[in-house]
Amino acid sequence: MNIRIIISLLIAGVLVGGAFYFVSSSKRESGGLVSQALAAKFEVLSKNGNSSCSALFKDSILSMPDGARLQGSCCSPMSFHRYSEQVQGLKKYSAISEIPSDPYDIDAALAKKLLGYYDTSLTPKEQEAYDYAMANANEKGPCCCKCWRWYVYGGLAKFLIQHHGFTGEQITEVWNLSDGCGGDH
């Protein structure tokens, strides 16, 4: 083989390999930036939350100004691993603005809207979907206790069933991804 062809092939290999390295490196770095941003948000939410399981907190939501945030965990310390899974899993539902993209950082205006759906009556068929989620969700309902999350996410379920035709399985998935109790489950 001609020495020029060998040198040309070596140079081409180095250029292709170098390009591949830089593209994959920039992808790793941008993924790292996302992880860093999520870690920074987790740090704030896990240490500075205002969320509480009390009835007083639930009742205060209606008087919160729009733009106020319901933040942090109610019951147990947050887990970064689980938080990452939840935020990633909820991206599946990003086209539905009523589904909070972060179960530990919810706009008060959205919480008020969803609270309003809680007392909505469901048809027998719709109630079957809701009952399925109640029986199959990790917390056996929208939350582990009847705190503000129970009513907000219960209202969300009724909204999703009525306006988006969600099944019991879909509500179960949304509730499991939206668990705001903290911990690893």
The DSSP string of 54-96 is SHHHHHHGGGSPTT-EEES-SSS-B-HHHHHHHHHHHGGGTT-
Residue of 2 and 173 predicted with greater confidence: 173
- What pLDDT is stored for residue 162 in this prediction? 98
2-26 per-position pLDDT tens digit = 565 555 444 544 444 443 443 344 3
Domain membership flag for residue 72: yes
Contact yes or no for 147/57 (Cβ under 8 A): yes
Which range of residues forms the domain containing residue 144?
Answer: 49-177
pTM of the predicted structure, to 2 decimals? 0.80
- What pLDDT is stored for residue 183 in this prediction? 82
Domain membership flag for residue 118: yes
∠ Cα 160 166 172 (to 5°): 95
- What pLDDT is stored for residue 75 in this prediction? 81
Q: Nearest Cα to 91, choosing from 103, 106, 101, 77?
A: 101
Domain check: are 118 and 157 in the same one? yes
pLDDT band at 184 (very low <50, low <70, confident <90, very high): confident
Average pLDDT over the chain, rounded to whole?
Answer: 86
- What pLDDT is stored for residue 11 in this prediction? 57
H/E stretch holding 170:
helix 168-177
* Least confident window among 93-102, 121-130, 140-149, 167-176: 140-149
H/E stretch holding 105:
strand 105-107
Domain check: are 137 and 97 in the same one? yes
Average pLDDT of 145-154? 95
Residue of 159 and 17 predicted with greater confidence: 159
Average pLDDT of 111-134? 98
- Domain tally, the chain: 2
Examine the pLDDT at 153 and tell me if it is beyond 80: yes
Domain membership flag for residue 68: yes
Domain check: are 143 and 53 in the same one? yes
Average pLDDT of 45-74? 92
Domain check: are 147 and 56 in the same one? yes
Domain check: are 106 and 26 in the same one? no
Domain membership flag for residue 183: no
Examine the pLDDT at 122 and tell me if it is beyond 90: yes
Domain check: are 151 and 111 in the same one? yes
- What pLDDT is stored for residue 53 in this prediction? 85
Examine the pLDDT at 173 and tell me if it is beyond 60: yes
